[in-house]
Every structure is written in C-alpha cells, then in structure tokens.
Structure 1
Amino acid sequence: MPHTSCSLFGTPPEDGVAPWPTYVPLAPWFIHGHETLWVDIDSTPEALKTFRERLRPMAHGIRPGSEGHGHLVVVSGLSGTGKSSLLHLCVHELVQMLDVAADRGAHKQNGDGSTAGHNPLWSRRAPARSTCIVGLDGSGNDGHGIGSPPGRTPETSQFEMVIERVVEVVATELGQGPGFSSAHPDPFLAWRALTDILEARDRRLVVIVPHIQWNDAELSRMFLRFCYDRCSRGVVFFVETTNTEVAKDLLPFTERERKSITHLRTTHLQAGDWAKYLEVWMEQDGVPAPTVAIDDDVLDFQPDAWALASISTLQDCLRRVVEEALQENAGHLRRQHVAHWFEAHRPSPDDFKRRGPTR
C-alpha cells in the first residue's frame, strides 16, 4: 500500500523562484518558505546548534561603528553534503538575531523580527531591517595570487575582487551610485568608506562567499585571514569551502581572534537519513504538485555507502525516478524503482581514483 504522496517536484511560482534544493540551495533569508523545507539530517543539526550557541550571545555586539564587532563563519565539507543550505539557513537566523538586537537598541519589541506570516510561500522576502546581505556568486578566479596590503600595488586582483564586488553591490543598495568606486580607487580606503556609510545608517553587513578554489594551502590560509581582517564594525563573512582540513588553516589565528570565528562542518549522511529525508519532505505543505505516492518499502530501502556521501545524490535519485514515474503514468514509487536507479549509477573504482584532494 502507498505510504503517502510526495511532492518532489513543483512548478516554479509565477516569479520564477523554484522552492526545491534540486534547483538551488535553500535560501530562507531570501525566499519565504525555504526555512520550512529544511531537513535535519546528517551532521547539520549539530552544526546548526554550534552556530546558535556561538552567535546568539554576541549578536547584540555585531553593530557598525568602532565599538561594534563582526564575525567570520567558515562552513566546510565535501561537495554535496549540504554546505550551501546550511550556510544560507545560518544567514537567515543571524539576520533575525541582528534585527532583534537592532530593534532592542532602538527600544522596539517586534518578536523575532520576522514578517514571514504576511508573505505568500516562495515569495521573496523584504530586505532585512538591520542588515545588507551580499552574495558573491560568480566570483571565480584562476586559483593563484594574493592581494597586497593597503597602499601597495596589488600582485593580482583576486582578493581585491571580493572587496570591489561588495563595495559595488552595497554602494548601489545604499544609493551611492556608480561614482562611489571610482572615488575610492584604493580597496582598503573604499572598504573603510563603505563601513562609514553603514555606520551612519546603522546597517550591518553580511557577505556570503561561495567556495573559491585556491591552488595551495598557503593561499587558502591567506584568504581566510583576508576575510577575517574585514570582519569588524558590524561585518560578518560567511565563507564556504570544500577544504576538509580547513581547521588547520584556522590554527594560526590567536586564541582571541578565534573567539570571532565559528567553524561549521558537514559530513556524510547516516544510514537512517534516507527514510528521514523522505518522511520530512513528504509532509511539507504548500509545495506545488505533481505528487507521486511512495510505498512503505521505499522508506525501508538502505542506499549503499557511496550514495550517502552526498545529499545531492539522494536528491538526484528522487528527481529522476519521480520524472520517470510521471512519464510512465505510474501510480506510485516502489522499492525496485529506487534500487534500480542506485544500481545503474553505482560508481566504478576508477571514479574514486580520479578524485584528488580538494581545497
């Protein structure tokens, strides 16, 4: 007998925003409803607990100005282990904390600072009251080179690229116009001028840095230092990396500096995460049709260890088998459908040999 129906696919809403992580990572700070699609599996509940324990006590101190401090959050793990969704959920929760802290500072009480109840599912959220959020998607590089200290000619533009991108986006959001960057050609002075504007407007700044490939360990360490040095005056950097040894890169920071650094890790899925993943997603409200019923024996299925290395593998499996079921007008999914997909996509020994170290 079918267990229940599963909305694994949905027609994107009219504004073109797809709610499912098979299309884009969950970004609840940007899309209302994404926070309800979060599934507590693998290592993410512990990572989220660590984030909350670290950031909640100090959120009130993350404010612009010389007396305010910032923070560096590093999210590490292999590709496909949920880093991006974890990072974006943490951004969402941090922004809620900062809104509350800002409201209290202004002697206001607005609950958790959320207006979620007034927004339709999958709609874009209104901008945070206290915070500018800048994502640096598309900031690729050749993996070489490092930025120079203030006042010196840069050897390459790789690190300065990050500052220029943030300055450009935030200055535009603050109504500064295209002349702001040209008026501050030195990246360090431009950054200082930008944080001065944020202070004047009582705005915090969150910068999301997706994984950037660096070709050696020293560059990776220097990039973390580069980001940390700009985490002050109400600025928080979220840095995503596939470098599973990033904890070693954080060792050179002093004990005092590490108080302003939070490291979150994602790992392989656990044996029971397949059923947990399915059960939670099958119960979500508001996700558009079509739906496909799922037999109980699908929940009892245990994927091999190679499939549990990446949540994206489970997502890809479900997406494909649901597509096939819809095309074949099948009433529901059975265990053999899922087992056949995993068997057909089992990696060969050569696939593992080709995987080199990642940084």
Structure 2
Amino acid sequence: MPLAPWYIQGHETLWVDIDSTPEALKTFRERLIPMVHRIRPGSEGHGHLVVVSGSSGTGKTSLLHRCVHELVQLLDGEPAGIGDDGDASGSGQPPLWKRRPPARSAFIVTLDGSGNDGHGIGSRPGRTPLVPQFDMVVERVFRVVAAELGHQPGFVTGVDEPFLTWRALTDRLEVLGRRLVVIVPHIPWNDADLSRRFLRFCHDRASRGVVFFVETTHTGVEDDLAIFGERERKSITHIQTHQLRADDWAKYLELWMALRDVPAPTIDIDEDVLEYRPEPWALASISTLQDCLRRVVEDALRHNAGHLRRDHVATWFQENRPSPDDFARTPGALRRGTTR
C-alpha cells in the first residue's frame, strides 16, 4: 500500500528521499504556507488545486499523501511535523501503524473505488453511475461528508442540482470552520480534452476552503494547465515525479536497514549489495526495487542465510529482466508490487 501518513501513524518515518521526490516536495512546501493562509471557508476564502503527475511506479501516490499530511498538520497547528520525521515511537506518542485521529481542521475524502478506463470516471465494475461523471464527484464527496456530519441542524441532506449541492456543502463547512481535502487517485487519461475539462472542474470546485489533490499519469499536464489564466494559476500547484536514479537503490536499502519497529524480518546486507547498480529498466519503478528486496530476503530466510550478498540481488534482476516482447505487448506490465 502507499504511504499515507495523514491516515496511519508512523508512515511518515518510512519516507525515503529517492528519485525526484525531494525536489517535488520542496516545490509543494514553498507553496504550502501561502496556501494555508488563503484556503479558508466562506465567501472571502480561497481553495487550491494540487496536481501530482508522473509515470506509474515513480512514487506519485505516496508523494501526494505526504503533501496531504503536511497540509493537514499545518492547518491543525502542528508545523513542527513538516520536514521532520520525528520519533513516532517515542514516549507519549500514539502507537505506530494505527489509524490517526481525524484531522481537527478538515474533512479528508478519498475518491477511491471508482473504475477508470482512461476515458472517464465511472462507478465500480458492474455498477451503472446514477449521475454524470463529474457530478459523481460532487455526489460522492457530499455523501462521505454528510455521513461524518450526521444529521446536524441546518445541513441539507440532498439537493438535485450538483452546483447547489456543492454550495450547500461549502456553506456548512463555513459554519463549522472546517476545510475540505479531496483526494482523486491515479487517473490514466487517454482523452486530452477530458483531462483538461476535469482539471477545470476540480479547480472550479476548489474554492471556499476546498483543496483538490489530483494524481495522474498524463504527461501533458503542463499543456492542460495552460488553459488557466495567470490569476487562476496562483491557486494551482503542479509537482512531478520522474524515473529513479542509479544511486536510489542504495538509498532505499539503507533506509530499509535503519527502520525502527517495522513489522517485517530483517537480515544483514553485505556492503557490495549497496554498491550494486540496477539496470535502467529496473529504475522505472520503485515497485521493482521493493519486489526484488522482498523476494531475495524471503529466499535468504528460507535457506537460513545470515546475510544478503551481491550475487543474490544480481541473480534476481537477471532472472526478472524483461524481454523486448514485454515492452511491445503490454507497456505497463513492468510495474510490480505495491506503490510507494
């Protein structure tokens, strides 16, 4: 599963600055404090749209959730957590790997569970959407927040017109002094016009204390954002991930060896394993490095080996090297394992 520190206590300690994520996170942090000052409920408030783009397996999902975590921390008045992994297992801290208490300052809604064929947002497989694609986003967010609010006096429980529904929702958030963070996961748009229209939709809904985080593999995001005027771009942040670098293998291993309280077996690693440099195909996705490490550790433990050697790792990469047919047949098939 991806790292989601806003949701799971301790996930922030698992973060590792590999590939392009430090630069992307720096870009987000430069916009964060001005963003927090602007995003407030009410007619005078503003919202924000954060777009996280990059190829599959390059860490988009965990980067997005890290940004959500830092935004919510700052909104909750806990700026010390930004850029500081801290000691989540120290005295007086909540236990690791447990659900965090809900944010005091915002509702966080993740729009997962929807189908997506690259041409639109649909309902779960086998179900027919009851509302048009973009209106479905409004309906789902409204339903989740309404469930959290319960039947409080003055809260409209259903409006047929999507714009009025959204207005009723933001009106109620204004009364409560709460923000709304909407996470739209992985969107592999194949239709450029639909991609632009969806970003416009999210930007228009990101007002009055609402922040949209949109994750996409679409490579033309900068062109899509060009449709927004200069004033509108002030409420948009675009951050990108890229393919890993050769030295990211060693960085990932060193972090893995140093982690505290991770519920997984550990094993000693020979120094020459850190010096190993995977081939470029293996650096296309963090998932490949994760899969390699998991498999070779399992194999070593099964054979009672006391440590990993370079030849263990090299053999795994050799045996799992894709053939040219793999690229031609299914371009996305090289992604293995979980998303960082």
1:72 to 26, 37, 49: 49
Deviation at 1:351, TM superposition (A): 1.8
Corresponding residue for residue 145 of structure 2: 170
| 1:292-331 correspondence to structure 2 within 5 Å | 292-331=267-306
Q: Does 1:231 align with 2:206?
A: yes
> Hey, what does 2:31 align to over in structure 1?
54
| Residue number in structure 1 paired with 2:308 | 333
C-alpha displacement at 1:156, in angstroms?
Answer: 6.4
Which ranges of structure 1 fall in alignment gaps of 5 or more residues? Answer: 1-23, 101-109, 148-153
In 2, Cα distance between the equivalents of 1:29 and 1:55? Answer: 16
1:66-112 Cα deviation digits (max 9, x unpaired): 11111000000000000000000000000011112xxxxxxxxx664
Gap change, CA 1:167 and 1:300, over 3 Å in 2: same
Conserved in 2, the CA contact under 8 Å of 1:141 and 1:158?
no
Match of 2:126 in 1: none
Contact 2:73 2:79 in 1 (8 A): no
Distance apart, 1:183 and its partner CA: 2.6
Partner residue in 2 for 1:198: 173
Q: Are residues 1:280 and 2:255 paired?
A: yes
- Measured against aligned partners, the alpha-carbon deviations of 1:101-151 in whole angstroms (never above 9, x if no partner) come to xxxxxxxxx66489965211111111111011010111224544699xxxx
Matched-pair contact (CA < 8 Å) for 2:9–2:99: yes
Identity within the alignment, %: 73
What 5-or-longer segments of structure 2 have no aligned partner?
A: 123-128, 333-340
Check 1:307–1:62 CA distance in 2 against 1; reply closer, same or farther (3 A cut): same
Amino acid at match of 2:98: S
Structure 2 counterparts to residues 10-29 of structure 1, below 5 A: 24-29=1-6
User: 2:335 aligns to what?
Assistant: none
2:110 is equivalent to residue 135 of structure 1: yes
Aligned to 2:337: none
**Alpha-carbon distance in structure 1 between the residues aligned to 2:79 and 2:58:** 33
Quick one: distance in 1 between partners of 2:260 and 2:121?
A: 47
Quote the residue 1:18 is aligned against: none
Q: TM-score, normalised by structure 2?
A: 0.88
Question: Contact between 1:28 and 1:92, CA under 8 Å: does it hold in 2?
Answer: yes
Question: Would you say the 8 A contact 1:76–1:244 is kept in 2?
Answer: yes
What TM-score comes out, normalization by structure 1 length? 0.83
Q: Which amino acid aligns with 2:273?
A: V
Aligned pair count reads 318
Q: Give 1:58's aligned amino acid.
A: M
Aligned with 2:13 (options 19, 36, 41): 36
Q: 1:284 to 1:231 in 2, by over 3 A?
A: same
Given that residues 220 and 249 in structure 1 are in contact (C-alpha distance below 8 angstroms), is that contact kept between their aligned partners in structure 2? yes
Structure 2 Cα separation of the partners of residues 158 and 65 of structure 1: 27
| C-alpha separation in 2, matches of 1:320 and 1:297 | 18
Q: Which letter does structure 1 place at the counterpart of 2:160?
A: P
Match of 2:183 in 1: 208
Give the drift of 1:191: 0.8
Q: Is the CA contact 2:189–2:216 (under 8 Å) kept in the aligned structure 1?
A: no
Separation in 1 of the partners of 2:283 and 2:299?
22
Is residue 349 from structure 1 mapped to residue 324 from structure 2 by the alignment? yes
SS in 2 for 1:210: strand
Superposed CA RMSD: 2.4
In structure 2, what is the equivalent of residue 264 of structure 1?
239
